[in-house]
Amino acid sequence: MLWGGLLLLCLLRGALGAGRPPGSEGRRAGDTSHISQDLGGDIPAMDTNETRIVEDNHSYYVSRIYGPGQAQLRGLWVELAAANGSHARIHRILSNSHRQGARVALSFDFPFYGHPLRQVTIATGGFIFVGDVPHRMLTATQYIAPLMANFNPSYSHSSTVQYLDNGTVLVVQWDRVYLQGREDVGSFTFQAALHSSGRIVFGYKEVPVPVLQISPAQHPVRAGLSDAFLVLSPDPAQPESRRRTIYEYHRVELDPSRISSRSAVEFTPLPTCLQHLSCHTCLSSELPFNCSWCHALHRCSSGFDRHREEWLSHGCAQSGARSCEDRGEGEDQGEGGAPSPRHQPHPLPHPTGSGLPGSRTTEGEHPKTPRPQNPETPNP
């Protein structure tokens, strides 16, 4: 189902940024560029010495980048051709499509930013959409992107999008895919592995051209992770409907200069408030997220995650317990309540007709000439 009404993208900067080194946020706090122009972001500074492991702590994940020839690369790349044929599958529709996505059910719970997922949407553009509701701007938030770009698997019969689910890991591989309009540079082969532990691995087998040379004019180019939450609010323009607003509360952007053939990136998940199942463990947590316990939901949260709407509707923002004996008497701002001025979300202007993608696609790439059609929903 597509989202009706208005679609806004708001950036929640700094609310959960504790523990991130300078330069790891991706975009500057207060950046209010139009969504169709805010597709690149600042590149975080990283060591470019290929003989060293580059590690960065992004609050939710620790990422490690391995360059060509490093011993740690062994075992990170999954050879689908050698995998059990009953498990590895070539997605015929995606392998013969451009700017298309398809939902795939997982056989296990995959924890992403602490949220268990049982289905994802694989896109031809080199990324996996992990949101609950597909919409016209899949490339904007809620993605796992080993290399998001304007790939066109339908260009060559040798290009495939394939995946493997063996019960403990989902591996998605974009195999010998070409860039639309840049077919002369050669084919790309890379994959993303989603482990049941929450660990994520990006593997790059063939990257024939530096990523920095890939143009974002027709499709955003990025590598990393993003998650967001949805909030429904009354629409002043249409009182009978509600406005759906997406808040991106965290993003990890990788340095594109580090992505090359025979390289890999490994993301190890860090603890979140959601993992605490009791009031005592929640309030005694030393995590950098201001964990708060809501008795109404029996949940530990910072108030800024995918359960944000439920957190607000059950009054958890006002009744987060300071102690386990406190049953919500009084205010507890700053622990699941409204963000402080320093952490106030920065809404972007509503994308009008000229800012919405015009092609009938599920990926929602960088806008082109607007057309009156609505984008298609993903294939089942």
Measured from the Cβ of residue 37, the count of other Cβ atoms closer than 10 Å reads 11
3-class DSSP assignment, residue 374: coil
DSSP label at 53?
A: -
What is the residue-level pLDDT of the chain in tens, covering all 380 positions? 333 333 334 433 333 233 333 333 333 223 322 222 222 222 222 222 333 456 667 889 999 999 998 888 888 999 987 765 557 899 999 999 999 999 999 999 999 999 999 999 999 999 999 998 777 777 888 999 999 999 999 999 999 999 999 999 999 999 999 999 999 999 999 999 999 999 999 999 999 999 999 999 999 999 999 999 988 877 788 877 878 888 899 999 999 999 999 999 999 999 999 999 999 999 999 998 989 999 999 999 999 999 999 999 999 987 545 678 764 433 333 333 333 333 333 333 333 222 222 222 344 433 222 223 233 334 43
For 342: left if phi > 0, alpha if psi spans -120 to 50, otherwise beta; the answer is alpha
pTM (2 d.p.) = 0.74
CA distance linking residue 362 with residue 60, whole number of Å: 28
Residue 79: burial class (beta carbons within 10 Å; 0-12, 13-18, 19+): exposed
Closest by Cα among 202, 212, 201 to 48 = 212
Using an 8 Å Cβ cutoff, are 160 and 176 in contact? yes
CA distance linking residue 77 with residue 88, whole number of Å: 15
CA distance linking residue 325 with residue 315, whole number of Å: 18
Using an 8 Å Cβ cutoff, are 223 and 125 in contact? no
CA distance linking residue 300 with residue 282, whole number of Å: 6
List of residues 6+ apart from 144 with CB closer than 8 A: 112, 120, 127, 128, 130, 192, 194, 200, 225
Residue 301 Cα distances to 197, 304, 314, angstroms: 20, 7, 13
